[in-house]
Amino acid sequence: MVTRAEQRERTRRTLVAESRRLFAAKGYAAVGLAEIVRESGVTKGALYHHFEGKADLFRAVLDEVQQEVAGRVVAAAEAAGDPWARFKDGCAAFVTASADPEIQRIMLIDGPAVLGWNDWRAMDEGASAKHLAEALTDLVESGTIPDQPIAPLTHLLSGAMNEAALWLAQTAAPGDLTATLAALSRLLESLRAP
């Protein structure tokens, strides 16, 4: 027998999953609440029981997407050997994951537009920039990269990788992801201490 708590959680998961599918396919602006509840097979009341509205639901979808990307980055980094390889593999995993059109649409295009730049940046800080800053801190402390302020370097690299993912969304040329990853590797190598 399914408990009420389990049913509520199932309803919430369904709303997030269907909204994610719709937002990824059509974009936030083109999806209405009526379509979300119809595709989810729930009532509008059930939606409002879990979320304040469409923007709140989008925030939950974005959080899920950011956590998945962060999970891919961490998994790639942990599979590598030394701290430098973990850093480079984590950055490459971020760009690769962000090249997925669904992730681009939700995380990089609609995210800042729907939530506003400051709220989006705060979520990005919590999801991926935090891991990047930690990796850079470890590399500075080990002497792998020269001693320098971590915050500006984190923002510069994060911005470069986000921009690369957005550019990949605009191009359809074969080999662009491979070329982007090679350019990222060269950029990161330039940070290493001589």
pLDDT digits (tens, 9 = 90+) for 47-78: 999 999 999 999 999 999 999 998 999 999 99
> Taking the CB of residue 84, how many other CB atoms lie within 10 A of it?
19
Instruction: Report residue 29 as tokens.
Output: 């602006």
pLDDT tens string 113-160 = 999 989 988 888 887 888 899 999 999 999 999 999 999 999 999 999
pTM of the model: 0.89
Please write down the long-range contacts of 79-86, taking CB distance under 8 Å and 24 or more positions apart.
Answer: 83/135, 83/138, 83/139, 83/142, 83/144, 84/139, 84/144, 84/192, 86/135
